[in-house]
Amino acid sequence: MRVLIAPDSFGGTLSAAAAAGAVERGWHRGAPDDELVLRPLADGGTGFVEVLHTALGGALHRLDVTGPFGEPVSAAWLEHEGTGYIESAQASGLHLIGSSRRDAGAATSRGVGELLAAVATGGTDTAVIGLGGSATSDGGAGMFAALGAVPVDGDATPLPDGGAPLARCARLDGKPRVDGLTLVAAADVTNPLLGEHGAAHVFGPQKGADAAEVARLEAALTQWADVLEATTGRAVRDEPGAGAAGGLGAALLALGASLVSGAALVRERTGLDSALDTAHLVVTGEGSFDGQSLRGKLVTTLSSGAAERGVPCIVLAGQVCVGRREAAAVGVDAAYAAADAAGSVDAALADPAGTLEVVAEQAARQWGGR
């Protein structure tokens, strides 16, 4: 049996490539005669550039950029056939900071702007920005500042980095230097910028915001949306994907970017459909298989592709928070949790690759060799 192994990254514990390798090792133990085809994937978040580089080739350009709290971090953008690919999580990702340091109101997307500035001067005509896994809630204000459009208050004083100071934003000083560059935002979610499904309310708590901070961020991002509209003439606050990456999607949409599904883009550019055409079983996975997974993320891209071909699809995840009926509704035939196999979430995190191997072996004994 030919098994397509196509996981996303597992949060901050395993890259997509490492997860695929762990599944491969476990599956070989459970069903040694199966033919395994590995396609590590990403939906715009962590691993986006690595996955595309593996599939497409091209040249990686590495540079130091500003991290979520101003510290330098190493990041790379991929140049391939006139297009520059950026992974926002490399500059402002949640995985770059410990859980005790999370501060949704202070984290900045400035490093993403520095990557985009490098692409703009690198001889390419298109920039694709993968959105997902960010530590920020600054609406892309840091990115704007790095591109030469600095948020200022009523006295023309530049604002500190972060989302919270945007409550005092009066206008932008300068214009963003992206002229002549076609922008594409590859998002992993379709949330708007504001409201109960927006960046502050849905993603702020993951980034360290309590209820009071969420309310402050909502007010600050509302003010920022007004500034973006006054500056660019485009009302983006309610557009799908505007809330991606802490509102970085809104900033890119205001600059004229087109929005695409990150998972669909990776699917197309890695030749995933060809692999699906010859598969007898699809195995995908991610850190947490939950409600967000069902709204356009990688798992649903794989499961829908498998369903179109009449091929079963199973999910191996760190945690499974989706019921069987919900999973079946998006084409997932079964889901297995590493936390269940290890006895607890902490035990699974202590050896993420080893635990994933065990889960893969268990799944192979049920699904392999058919």
For residue 301, the domain's CATH number is: 3.40.50.10350
* pLDDT band, residue 300 (cuts 50/70/90): confident
Does residue 131 contact residue 259 with C-beta atoms inside 8 Å?
Answer: no
83 and 37 belong to one structural domain: no
SS (H, E, C) 292-360: HHHCCCHHHHHHHHHHHCCCCEEEEEEEECCCHHHHHHCCCCEEEEHHHHHCCHHHHHHCHHHHHHHHH
* pLDDT band, residue 296 (cuts 50/70/90): low
Mean pLDDT computed over every residue of the chain: 94
Q: Does pLDDT of 98 surpass 90?
A: no
Does residue 40 contact residue 47 with C-beta atoms inside 8 Å?
Answer: yes
Does residue 124 contact residue 82 with C-beta atoms inside 8 Å?
Answer: yes
115 and 219 belong to one structural domain: yes
202 and 251 belong to one structural domain: yes
Average pLDDT over residues 217-233: 97
Give the burial class of 153: count Cβ atoms within 10 A of its Cβ; 0-12 exposed, 13-18 middle, 19 or more buried: middle
Give tens-digit pLDDT for 138-180: 999 999 999 999 999 999 999 999 999 999 999 999 999 998 8
* pLDDT band, residue 311 (cuts 50/70/90): very high
Among 235, 263, 291, the domain boundary falls at 263
Question: What is the pLDDT at residue 369?
Answer: 83
Among 263, 296, 313, the domain boundary falls at 263
Q: What three-state secondary structure class fits 108?
A: coil
Q: Does pLDDT of 52 surpass 70?
A: yes
Which residues constitute the domain of residue 234? Answer: 48-263
For 230-283, give the DSSP string: HHHS---TTSTTTTHHHHHHHHHHHTTPEEEEHHHHHHHHTTHHHHHHT-SEEE
Q: Does pLDDT of 81 surpass 80?
A: yes
Angle at 91 between CA 339 and CA 86, to 5 degrees: 100
pTM: 0.88
Question: What is the pLDDT at residue 180?
Answer: 87
